[in-house]
Amino acid sequence: MNMTRREMLKLSVAASAAAAVGIPLTAETLTPVKNSGEIDVDRWVKGVCRFCGTGCGVYIGVKANKVVAMKGNPEAKTNFGYLCVKGSMIHKFMYHPDRLTTPLIRNQNGKLEPATWDKALDLIAKKFKDYQTRFGKNSVAYYGSGQCTTEESYTFNKLWKGGFGSNYVEGNPRLCMASAVAGYLSSIGSDEPAGTYADFESTKCLFITGSNTSEAHPILFRRIWERKRKDPSLKIIVCEPRKTKTSDIADLWLPIDPGTDLAVFHSIAYEIIKNGWHDKAYIEKLARITDGEKTFTLDEYTKHLSQFDADAVAKMTRCPAKSIRQAAEWFAKSGATMSIWCMGLNQRSRGVWANNLIHNLHLITGNFGKPGADSFSLTGQPNACGGVRETGSLSHLLPGCRLVANPAARAQVEKAWNIKDGTIDPKPGPDTVEMFAALGAENDTSKPIKAIFICTTNPAQSMPNLPKYLPNMQAGFLVVADIFPTRTTQFADVVLPAAFLYEKGGVYGCSERRSQLTEKAVNPPGQAKPDIWIAAQIAKRMGHSKLIPWNGDDSMKANELAWTDYIKVTKDTEKTLWGATYKRLKESKEGIQWPCPSENHPGTYKRYVRGMDPVFDMPGYKEKIPANASQYFYVDAKGEGKANIFMRAYAGAAETPNAEYPFFLTTGRVVEQWHTGTMTNRVPEIARAHPNAYLEIHPTDASKLGLKQGDMVEVTSRRGKNTLPVRIVEVALPGVLFIPMHDQKKERMVNFICNDAVDGASKEPEYKIAAVKITRIGGPMDVAEQYNISDVNEKFVF
Amino acid sequence: MLITSSVIEVNDGGFAETERYLAGLPNVEVRGISEDKRRILLIIETEDGEVLEKISAEIGKCPGVFSLLHHSFHFDEDE
């Protein structure tokens, strides 16, 4: 058969996709495909997508030590071969000319100039040691990311807590998932969901709230849509202030003013109990009603809820009473209801309460512990769960999500790490907002933190209320490891060029407790190095090579040593991955879901259910679980096997509109861009779709203000302002504005406006709600310049 | 040369309209159709990402199209 190379490639690509997504090829394609070869690569390397928390499995096509193709992994249980636009364009920024390829040290003239690795690492170690000697062990902090691999986060966490004896370890999941963590811990007793994505296929009612799934988790949205398409009887309820594409597939949209959803959740609970749709037996057996101190009867709880009558709640939230009642009926009577949520609930000053109230709905209806029934928090980053929550890389946690304040937990970890008793500080360190507030210059006695190591994240753009924290980043000694120049490297004293995920390998753990290994596919550019190597080199220079012995140049070998150390430390916890050896993760095409206590265990679909959850048979747990218990919350702090139905009060946002600041402002993602845009905005195809931030405004509000499409406006909060074009669309409710968060241009960085008020329990900031005013400053202007920071010495004037 | 395999999810009753629409687009080849006619497998061949972006935007304009998702990208040098 005569076939051009191009046609052969097309056939190969078509055949691969057809097999992956289960679509039969057309007859014209099928015949020649049988005779065609594979896509022209030297090898396919198994990996995971680098973006959101879905955990899509990919294969990276490598030819001549260069990534030349990407494809979805059809055997991955997360994405079944599908990829979104971000995941499929990764190669574009891997080879972008802006990549950092050499260490940089800021000289006396304030310019970053190239340096050797030895010089940069020696300087870091010298400075850190000097600060620790002069200002104490907590004067040097670590700020990591839900994008570091598990091995990297674990290594930094071990170095700080076990080596330096300091809990000054934080990570950007504090800014996105901390409320979900605190919600699970307080309601259920243990972090992370009981169920998995597989519940999408068996649920009868899906309650989506605080999540624009269609843009933030497009592959999961496809899965939900597919399920709805196959079974139109599935009820989908969406509760959001914006009517996004997620609502397009909903049977019911519950509109709300930002921050008022707690009243709606209480009201749904009230309707359920008032109508007798609750599961009384489940409540009696597996839940307690509490305010965190005292316990209450169901009657007392009902009386508390009665203040949230649907008619009254409709007036305070703008959610129609009829819709609340309908949602309550579907939620309670479906037979299997699943809730999913993300930052809309978490990034709030009452984020933990919002999480608690969703768990409440599941507990009062018994929608827990059975197929299709779960309260499931979606994660925003690819390794916030595996890398930060599970390794305990936050200031109050230890590996296995154990608390540093717990003496027994400290003793367990100290023993496993083979360090002296009492090495781990019993006092939790500061949260992220406190940490950056405490960062400052050597001569500033009000700022106890003098230096910070920032890894794979961009706080100079992602912190809320930037005007408050940028001066501190400028004053302190900053070490930043990243792959591109960012707003944060503009303040750095030392910049370290990092390897990209596919240039080093490692494990990511996604939203559904699934750990998946990415193999190293290609070498990093120039002198870029894996973060685990950087951590180990600092440890070596600071006298902790015994604690962190994986300091060789082979990144996969270092990863394996760190992983093996990590699964040993967490072996006896309910988050055990003891059976997920590196060898097994390498061989597995779908990863492994914890708990996985042994090498012959397949991983766990559903927690807290006997016969599904291996923890029921683990020493330390099985002794306290009654033999006849089919479902049991063995993580209950009171030892009764129960989860908590929280009797929370109602509280709105920390800041609400008034005469001076009459609008609600909320923020979020767009499908093409990710986080602060440092990677996605360097892909022209992606950046062109959403090159700049804008203000989304309802036509009613635009008309009142005399605004026309594209007009330039100034948006001002009590903290700062943005100048950007308006986009007049019927998405959000009138009175509610939206600005996406990816733009790096100072005038359009929404975090100059956002509120840094935090949740009292999770310490997560309220990014999602601010009160603002708008002033028209002119007609349309072209602001679509796809702004990136390319020059490492470009100044950030703020 | 950029060769992309993509999957269109089709709205209720939107298959015929989508099929007609795709036939009018250059560089787009239908290579597979699901039995229920709700998913269409495409191969899109372009010289660069900008053209791919434009074609993707064009596909998105078709009322019968619910979503366009990609499966694989091959961005080898041209022959």
Domains and CATH numbers, chain A: 5-94 (2.20.25.90), 178-379+640-646 (3.40.228.10), 663-778 (2.40.40.20)
The mean per-residue pLDDT over the stretch A216-245 comes to 92
Cβ–Cβ of B49/A17 closer than 8 Å? no
- Looking at CA atoms only, how far is residue B65 from chain A in angstroms? 13
| A32's tokens | 């020649």
Three-class SS state of A631 = strand
The confidence band for A32, taking pLDDT boundaries of 50, 70 and 90, is low
pLDDT bin (cut points 50, 70, 90) of residue A25 is confident
Q: How far is A288 from chain B (nearest CA, A)?
A: 44
On chain B, the residues whose CB falls within 8 A of the CB of A70 are 72-73
Which pair of structure tokens corresponds to residue A260?
A: 């008022």
Quick check: B71 and A40 CB within 8 A? no
| A696 pLDDT tier (thresholds 50, 70, 90) | very high
Q: Which residues of B touch A85 (CB under 8 A)?
A: 56, 70
Question: What local confidence, expressed as pLDDT, does residue A69 receive?
Answer: 84
Contact B70 A68 (CB under 8 A): no
Partner residue opposite A14 with nearest CB, options B1, B5, B56: B5
> Stretch A534-545: mean pLDDT, rounded?
98
Residues in chain B: 79
**Contact between A69 and B75 using a beta-carbon 8 Å cutoff:** yes
- In this prediction, residue A38 has a pLDDT band, given cuts at 50, 70 and 90, of low
Which residue among A10, A83, A219 sits closest to B45, beta carbon to beta carbon? A10
Give me the amino acid identity at A370: K
Residue in chain A nearest B42 by alpha carbon: A14
> Domain-by-domain residue ranges, chain B?
2-74
pLDDT in tens, A314-341: 999 999 999 999 999 999 999 999 999 9
pLDDT at residue number A31: 58
A655 pLDDT higher than 70: yes
Q: Does A39 contact B72 at a Cβ distance shorter than 8 Å? A: yes
Average pLDDT rounded to a whole number, residues A437-447: 98
Contacts of A691 in chain B (CB under 8 A): none
Q: Tell me what the mean pLDDT of segment A468-489 comes to.
A: 98
Q: Which has more confidence, B48 or A110?
A: A110
Percent share of chain A, pLDDT over 70: 98
Helices and strands: H and E segment counts in chain A = 25, 29
| Option in A20, A26, A61 nearest B71 (CB) | A20
Residues A29/A3, Cβ–Cβ less than 8 Å: no
pLDDT in tens, A232-243: 999 999 999 999
Minimal C-alpha gap between B51 and chain A (Å): 9
Out of A9, A26, A226, name the one closest to residue B74 (CB): A9
Which residues in chain A have their CB less than 8 angstroms from residue B6's CB?
A: 17
Per-residue pLDDT for A621 more than 90? yes
pLDDT at residue A89 tops 80: no
- Where does residue B74 rank: exposed (0-12), middle (13-18), buried (19+ CB within 10 A)? buried
- Asked if the model's pLDDT at residue A498 lies above 50, the reply is yes
Q: How far is CA A569 from CA A413, A576, A747, A776, in A?
A: 6, 9, 46, 57
Residues of A in contact with B73 (CB under 8 A): 69-71, 88-89, 91
Mean pLDDT of A139-168: 98
A30, pLDDT greater than 70: no
Torsion of CA A552, A553, A555, A558, to 10 degrees: 0
Contact at CB, A69 and B74, closer than 8 angstroms: yes
Judge whether residue A185 has pLDDT over 50: yes
Residue A773's nearest CA partner among A655, A676, A692 is A655
**Residues near A94 by Cβ (< 8 Å), separated by ≥ 6?**
A67, A500, A502, A503
- The three-class DSSP label of residue A305 is helix
A28 → chain B, closest CA residue: B31
Residues of A in contact with B49 (CB under 8 A): 89, 92, 683-685
All residues of chain B having their beta carbon less than 8 Å from the beta carbon of residue A82 are 7, 69-71
What residues of chain B lie within 8 A of the CB of A73, using their CB? none
Q: How confident is the model at residue A1 (pLDDT cuts 50, 70, 90)?
A: very low
> Measured between beta carbons, which residues in chain B are less than 8 angstroms from residue A91?
73, 75
If residue A69 lies in a helix (H) or strand (E), which one and from where to where? Answer: strand A66-72
DSSP A499: P
Phi-psi region of A203 (alpha: psi -120 to 50; beta: other; left: phi over 0): beta
Give residue B77's pLDDT band: very low, low, confident or very high (50, 70, 90): low
pTM of the model: 0.91
Confidence (pLDDT) at B79: 33
Q: How far is B26 from chain A (nearest CA, A)?
A: 15
* Interface touch B72/A71, C-beta < 8 Å: yes
The answer on pLDDT for A760 being more than 80 is yes
**How close B5 comes to chain A (CA, Å)?**
6
Average pLDDT value over all residues in chain A: 94
Residue-wise pLDDT for A420-432, tens only, equals 999 999 999 999 9
Residue A3, pLDDT above cutoff 80: no
pLDDT of A309 above 60: yes
Closest CA to A483 of A455, A513, A452, A509: A455
Q: Indicate the CATH number of B2-74 among 3.10.20.30, 3.40.50.300, 3.30.2290.10, 3.30.70.920.
A: 3.30.70.920
C-alpha A206/C-alpha A105 separation (Å) is: 52
pLDDT confidence band for A649 (50 / 70 / 90): very high
Q: How far apart are CA A162 and CA A417, in angstroms?
A: 7
Q: Which of A536, A532, A176 is nearest to A382 (CA)?
A: A176
Q: Could B76 and A63 be called an inter-chain contact, meaning their C-beta atoms sit closer than 8 Å?
A: yes
Of residues B69 and A110, more confidently modeled:
A110
Helix axes A321-333, A310-317, angle to 10 degrees: 120
Tens digits of residue pLDDT in B3-33: 888 889 898 889 999 999 999 888 899 998 9
Residue A35 confidence (pLDDT): 47
A676, A486 in Cβ contact below 8 A?
yes
For residue B78, name the pLDDT band (cuts at 50, 70, 90): very low
Best of B6, B7, B22, B48 to mutate (most A CBs within 10 Å, chain A):
B7
What integer is the mean pLDDT of A698-712?
A: 96
Residue A14 clears pLDDT 90, i.e. is over it: no
Q: Does B54 touch chain A if contact means CB atoms closer than 8 Å?
A: no
Q: How buried is A96 (Cβ within 10 angstroms: 0-12 exposed, 13-18 middle, 19+ buried)?
A: middle
Please indicate whether, in this complex, the C-beta atoms of A70 and B67 are within 8 angstroms of each other.
Answer: no
User: Which of B1, B67, B72 is facing A72, going by the closest CB pair?
Assistant: B72
Instruction: Report the alpha-carbon distance of residue A215 to residue A57 in Å, rounded.
Output: 19
Is residue A496 scored above 90 in pLDDT?
yes
**pLDDT given at position B37:** 87
Mean pLDDT score, A373-384: 96
Output the pLDDT for position B76: 60
